[in-house]
Amino acid sequence: MKLRPDLVTAPLRGNIDTRLGRVTSGDYAGIILAAAGLERVGLADRGAELLEPPRYWPAIAQGALALQARANDTAVREALTLIDDAPSHRAIAAERACLSALAGGCLAPIGGFSTENEGKLELTACVLENTSNGVERIDVTAAVRIDAAAKKAMQTARQLGRAVAKQLREAGADGMLARMRQRQAVSPPPPPDLD
């Protein structure tokens, strides 16, 4: 909304076909869908624009796949290390530490994106708030050097996430999130459209 205040937004629920049908029928001029979902069902060509950082920040850990195993199942845990992408894992750890430090959840207007390149882990996160004047937004970017061989690399990633959250809070994120949570409590999201 900050980039396109001329747009009118409305909630939309349902599977991909239902949502795309609402555009085809003229109910919506356009919708936002996950590119991965469109690709998975062979409809990537239906996308008109890819919303990417730094213009648009995804939800924290968007697109990350997590696998879980019993703590005492050594064989499964060892097998999972073969498919664990360490830089991606650290990036997600930084993002999730930021979200946790902000006490954010799936409905909190918090976005973020972390990347690791040439031994540097960078995290940008933002907090948004709908106001009567449009959308307010706070963005913070920070980076740390990562020694991928060190056991403390994951700890360093989490520290980065907490540091970014601290900067967001110092810039006013707590008040923004509190007001957004209060609005959501007063007017909860509509029930899912079961079409």
CATH value at residue 62:
3.30.160.40
- Containing domain of residue 122, as a range? 52-186
Secondary structure letter of residue 22 according to DSSP: H
- Tell me the per-residue pLDDT of 14-70, one tens digit each, with 9 for 90 and over: 999 999 999 999 999 999 988 888 999 999 998 889 888 888 888 899 888 888 899
pLDDT recorded at residue 93: 95
Q: Flag whether 195 is in a domain.
A: no
Same domain for 165 and 135?
Answer: yes
Q: Flag whether 71 is in a domain.
A: yes
Q: Flag whether 127 is in a domain.
A: yes
Question: What strand order describes the sheet that includes 110-117?
Answer: 110-117, 120-131, 134-145
Return d(Cα 27, Cα 19) in angstroms, integer.
Answer: 10
Q: Flag whether 191 is in a domain.
A: no
Same domain for 72 and 30?
Answer: no
Number of domains in the chain: 2
Helices and strands (H, E) in the chain, number of each type: 6, 3
Same domain for 34 and 45?
Answer: yes
Same domain for 76 and 162?
Answer: yes
Same domain for 78 and 17?
Answer: no
pLDDT recorded at residue 149: 77
Return d(Cα 68, Cα 56) in angstroms, integer.
Answer: 30
Same domain for 69 and 93?
Answer: yes
Same domain for 149 and 62?
Answer: yes
Return d(Cα 139, Cα 164) in angstroms, integer.
Answer: 9
Which amino acid belongs to residue 15?
Answer: N
Residues of the chain with pLDDT under 50: 194-195
Same domain for 42 and 56?
Answer: no
Q: Flag whether 61 is in a domain.
A: yes
Q: Flag whether 103 is in a domain.
A: yes
Same domain for 120 and 37?
Answer: no
Same domain for 143 and 169?
Answer: yes
pTM: 0.80
Same domain for 37 and 60?
Answer: no
CA distances from 101 to 39, 68, 74, 159, 173 (A): 33, 23, 31, 10, 11
Return d(Cα 152, Cα 117) in angstroms, integer.
Answer: 17
Asked if 180 and 130 count as a contact pair (C-beta separation under 8 A), the reply is yes
